[in-house]
Structure formats: C-alpha cells, structure tokens
Structure 1
Amino acid sequence: MNITLRQLEVFLAVIDTQSTTRGAEKLSLSQSAVSSALADLENQLGVQLFERAGKRLIVNENARLLFPRAQALLEQAQELENLFSDGRSILKIGASTTIGNYLLPAVISRYREKFPGIQLELRVANSADIAEAVANFEVDIGFIEGPCHRMELESQLWRQDELLLFCAATHPLAGKTVSAEQLAQCQWILREAGSGTREVVEQLLLPQLHHFNLVMELGNSEAIKHAVSHSQTVSCLSRAVIAEQLESGRLATLQLQGMNNIVRPLYLIRHKQKHLSRSLKVFLDVEQQVKQYNYSPSA
C-alpha cells in the first residue's frame, strides 16, 4: 500500500468543501488531479469514502473513520517540516466566554513569551459551540464551563470557578442576605441558553426560586455586568468577571439564605482521536505552570 500525504490532503479538502471542484480550488490543483487522487485513495483502501449524489459528495462511515487519522498524519508531517524550516506552527484553542476572556489570557501571554514562533488562534464562544468545534476538529482543544457528554470527546476537570450573585451598589438588596422569595421577585439579566454559566445558574438556583423574573438575556458577560451596574437588576457571573467592579464599589454581592458559595467545575476537552501535537503539549505544560503559580479558586 502506497498512500501518500497528497492523497490524504485531497481527502481532507474534499470533506471540508464537499466537492472535488471546490477542493481543487482550495489546494490550487486541477479538478481532474483531485478526482484522480481521491479515486486512488479509495482503490488502495478498498472502500468507498463518499456517496455520490449528482455532483455532491456525501461523507459515509468509512470517511468518518479515516478523517481523524488522516488529519493526525498531516499534522505530524507538518511538525517534521517545522523542525527544519522557518515555518510557523498554528495552535487553535477554543474557550467559553468566561474562560477565554478572563482565565486564559495569562496562559496565552506566558506561552507567547516562551514560544513566539508558534502562532496561536483563540476562538471564544459559549460552551456548546466550543464543544461542537472540538468535535468537528475545528480547534485543537477546548475549555468549557460544565461537563461535556459527547461520546467522541475526552473531558477532564481543569479548574474550579466561583459564581457570585450581584447587583448594583445602589440596589436595595446590595450586600444583604436575601430569601428565595426576595430573589425570585428581582429582575434578572442572564446569559443566553447554551452558556455554561446559564446552565449552572438554572441547575442550582431555579429549584429554590421556582422561576426567574427574566427581563433580559445577553450573550456577553461584559454587557451583563455593565447593564446590572446601571439598573436595579441582579445577575450571577464568575468572580473573575466582576472582580474589578466589586473592588471599585460599582457592584455588590448578595447572598441567598441557606446557600453556600456557588462553585462550578471547568473542563478541558479534546477529541479522543485528536493527535496531541508538540505545540499542543507545550501549551498544556505552560498552562499547568501558570495554574500552579498564579491561580486561586477565589480569583
């Protein structure tokens, strides 16, 4: 068997574009060259990788099985080239909003200081979207708020994060311990559905409040804390998000009677069939160093 890296590159391009024509454009090859390489690959493997429906190519189970292995081989080949050239590796990280905006910047800064030759791309979205990106191999690794139950992904506990109930410093309940009835009557601003923060808030608070008087949903934690600071509303976000406003006195916390601190786990996820590249191993090593020396569960 003489499978070539070019055949695997063609295979991945066709999967990405769902067309030999667009795959050829992506690789700057002729359409006939792409079709020939794909046919040779199928002949050598002895299986059909796509179902043909007119001009459309539909991925079948054989292609899904080959995909992560082909991608891993090409990544390893790229690593070999980077060892002996000025080529720059690209590491793609996905992170939920809170993690990407408040917890990962210190890691990324340290990583870039130590390894300036490795390009890093950070995608920030809600936890559901990041899990989807990891599952589709769009990012190398993901950091999310809350557990992930997708069978194709490997999940491990990363950190613990404290969530705080808060309001404007001028709110009548600022700094007080309140009953579930009082909190249920408050006007709430919450993150959007699909957010890890929203999921935890609903799991832990909704059983006690029975309902939220929800007046606004926002897809950005920055927008929420500023909206709360200028209104008579309440919300719940990570301590890391509102630490500066608490210190300046613009925001204040409130405590639900009978409830201890709200602590949630944060998770690191990656595809079970994802090749652990050298650049990714280095990033995880740096992340562990930063976590060990700079992270506090209450920060």
Structure 2
Amino acid sequence: MKKAMQTLPKITLKQLAVFVSIYQTGSTSRASEELHLSQSAVSSALTELESRLQMPLFERVGRRLNQHPNAHPIYIQAQAILGQSLTLEHYHKHQAGQIHIGASTTIGNYVLPPLLAKLYKALPDASVNTYIANTQEVVAEVEQLNIDIALVEGMPRPTDMKAIEQREWRTDKLMIFAKRDSQWLVDIASYNDAGDCYELSIEQLARLPLLVRETGSGTRQIIDEQLLKHLPDADVIMAIQQSEAIKHMVSADIGLGCLSQYVIDPELAAGTLVQVNVAGIDLSRTWWLVWHKARHQSPIWQTFIDILTSE
C-alpha cells in the first residue's frame, strides 16, 4: 500500500506578515515589537512558513538572520497577498457602512428625510443611496437584491413571497381634499361646524372630477380598494405620477385630490387646501418594511431598523 502523504498546514496571513516584517527589519525581535507578538510566536510563525514552503527563507548565523536567495521572490508575493488582504478589509469596512434604501414616493419625499437625518446622526460616516419610485417598482428592486430595505405604502405583493420579508411599520391616512371655496363644492357641500372641512356624500363625490396617483403606487392601491369601489361611475379625470403635481392641480381648482396627510399638511395648516370628509369612507392604510431574506443585514442596516422601529 502507498503511504498517505502528510498534509501540511495552510499558509496563513499571520505567517506572511511575520515573514515580511522580519525581511524588512532584519530580526525576529524587531518584528515582534512591530507586530506586538512575542518573539517565540514570531519564530514559530517563520518556522511554520518555511516548513509549508519546504524551503529556507533565512540563514541563521548565531543570533543573526541573513536573507536566503529564496527570500526575495517570496517577499514580493507576500507583499502582494497582504496588500490584497488589506484592500479586501477596507472594502468590507466600506460595505459595512453602506446602505441602499428604497422608498415609495410619498414616504421618500415626505417621511424619509428626517429618518436619514437620524441615521447620519447615529453614523456620521454612513454612505446612503436611495431609490424612490412607486411601490411596485421599489418591491421589484428588493426582489432583484438591488435594495437593502424598502419602505412602501402599498401592500408589497412580491412575486416570490418566500424570498421576501415584510413587516407592518406605520399607519397613514389618505385624505380627499379640495381648494378652499372650490368651484366644484360651493353649491353642493357645506363646511363642518369648525369650518375646516367640507362634508360630502358618496353620491356627491361620484359626480366630481378626481385627480389620483398612477396604477402601481401604494396610494392608488388604497384609492382603488377603499374609495373607487364605492364610486363605480366616478369621474377620474387624470392619473398622475407625482403627488406634488396633484396638489398643485387641486390648488388650481382642476378637481379634487386624494393623497397622504403627510403631503398636504402644510397647505391644510395654511388654509389654502381643505379636507373633504365623505361619510362611510375610511382611507387609513398600513406602511410596510420590506427586505430580501438573502440580503446581508449589516450593522448600518440594523441601526436603520432600530430608528424605524423606535418611531
């Protein structure tokens, strides 16, 4: 029978670092000081490396170490390997401080900025990329592993439910609203007792022009499911991708709008826009956190989750 070959231990980065330090300083004692290792640990690492390479790297003359002709080519290779290792370490540290956040339009424009301010306060060196689009588009990016975590307004509905984690995050309320003293409401609607809100019936609303978000957005999903199903003959005159555009068109009295309270709060406070209450209609909704189960949950990811869940 053939005798099994003895398996030698693998070369380690520590052994290479010890060798490079001895090569540069000329002694094990200086290398031990430079690397903060005991002299015996340095000598042991060098012996192990020579055994693994099956060649001497230094000639021992008394207490002195003279470089063997083998040492220089091994030194060049060791330097390259240690340099690549350092590059990889720097890359890992950089990646650990990076996060790619997705958000559907309303959250991205009105809610995400103060959350990012908290993240930068906790981690001043954080590197943050954002992707803002409608819910459908953002969830698709999560599924492609292009986004670490997403904040969306509509039910996520990924194509692969098993691969995606989704968690309820916040509640929000959509508001139907109009320009104060709108031409569309002056003859059919009345202010409530506080004078800060119109009152309409579902039948009255069905006869008025509506400006709504586009299909695929979280806002439109709720409008379809909780508003338009009661208004089969509603006059939806325009589907628009941007909430700000809807708000400005309503301010121009083109029609009524339906958006998140976060979008129109400043105008409601200023009195330029007015909420329209419709009896029997509830437009509250849940916001979701979404991420891919295969995505690495780095320290910055966890910090951001902590900020979100403390809200």
Residue in 2 aligned with 1:239? 261
Question: Does the 8 Å contact 1:82/1:89 carry over to 2?
Answer: no
C-alpha distance in 2, partners of 1:258/1:79?
A: 60
Corresponding position: 1:191 with 2:213:
yes
Query: How many residue pairs get matched?
Result: 212
- Once the two structures are superposed, the pairs formed by residues 23-34 of structure 1 within 5 Å of their partners are none
Q: CA RMSD in A?
A: 2.1
Paired with 1:223 and 1:253, the residues of 2 have a C-alpha distance of: 17
Aligned-pair distance for 1:149?
2.6
The SS at the match of 1:254 is: strand
Contact map agreement 1:95 1:144 (CA 8 A) in 2? yes
- Equivalence for 2:248: 226
Provide, for residues 173-215 of structure 1, a one-character-per-residue CA deviation record: whole Å limited to 9, x for no partner.
4632211111011111110110110010110112211133111
CA distance in 2, matches of 1:78, 1:156: 36
2:178 counterpart of 1:157: no
Q: Alpha carbons of 1:140 and 1:207: their partners in 2 closer, same or farther (altered >3 Å)?
A: same
Counterpart in the other structure of 1:52: none
The structure 1 segments of at least 4 consecutive aligned residues displaced by more than 3 Å after TM superposition are 77-83, 85-88
Q: Are 1:176 and 2:184 matched, yes or no?
A: no
Moved more, 197-206 or 168-177: 168-177
The alignment-based identity, stated in percent, is: 32
SS in 1 for 2:155: coil
SS in 1 for 2:125: coil
Secondary structure of 2:289's match? strand
What is the deviation of 1:282? 1.3
Residue of structure 1 in register with 2:289 after alignment: 268
| Distance in structure 2 (CA, Å) of the matches to 1:127 and 1:78 | 37
Q: Which runs of 5+ in 1 are unaligned?
A: 1-76, 292-299
1:80, CA displacement in angstroms? 5.0
Residues 125 and 81 of structure 1, relative CA distance in 2, 3 Å threshold: same
TM-score of the superposed pair, with normalisation by structure 1: 0.66
User: What does the per-residue CA deviation read over 1:63-86, in whole Å, with 9 as the maximum and x for residues that have no partner?
Assistant: xxxxxxxxxxxxxx9995367x67
Look up the match of 2:103.
95
Aligned to 2:306: 285
In structure 1, what is the Cα distance between the partners aligned to 2:221 and 2:156? 12
Alignment map for 1:49-68 (pairs within 5 Å)? none
Q: Pick closer, same or farther for the CA change 1:186–1:275 going to 2, 3 Å.
A: same
Q: Secondary structure at the match of 2:115?
A: helix
Q: Which residue of 2 aligns with 1:57?
A: none
Distance in 2 of aligned mates of 1:209 and 1:86: 52
Q: Does 2:152 match 1:141?
A: no
Secondary structure of 1:103's counterpart equals: helix
> How far 1:103 moved relative to its partner?
1.2
Q: Could you say if the C-alpha distance between residues 88 and 140 of structure 1 is closer, same or farther in structure 2, counting changes exceeding 3 Å?
A: closer
Q: 1:166 to 1:79 in 2, by over 3 A?
A: farther
TM-score, normalized by length of structure 2?
A: 0.64
Hey, what does 2:90 align to over in structure 1? Answer: 81
1:36-92 alpha-carbon deviations (Å, 9 max, x no partner): xxxxxxxxxxxxxxxxxxxxxxxxxxxxxxxxxxxxxxxxx9995367x67883210
Q: Quote the residue 1:201 is aligned against.
A: 223
Shift of 1:110: 1.2
Cα distance change on mapping 1:79 and 1:243 into 2, 3 Å: farther
Separation in 2, partners of 1:82, 1:182: 61
The range that moved more, 145-154 or 177-186, is: 145-154
Q: Distance in 2 between matches of 1:286 and 1:197?
A: 24
Name the residue aligned to 1:10: none
Unaligned runs of 5+ in 2: 1-85, 192-196
1-structure distance, mates of 2:277, 2:209: 16
SS at match of 1:104: helix
Amino acid paired to 1:204: Q
State whether residues 79 and 89 of structure 1, in contact with CA within 8 Å, keep that contact through their aligned partners in structure 2.
no
Matched residue, 2:194: none
Matched, 1:109 2:117: yes
- Which structure has the bigger radius of gyration? 2
Q: 1:88 to 1:268 in 2, by over 3 A?
A: closer
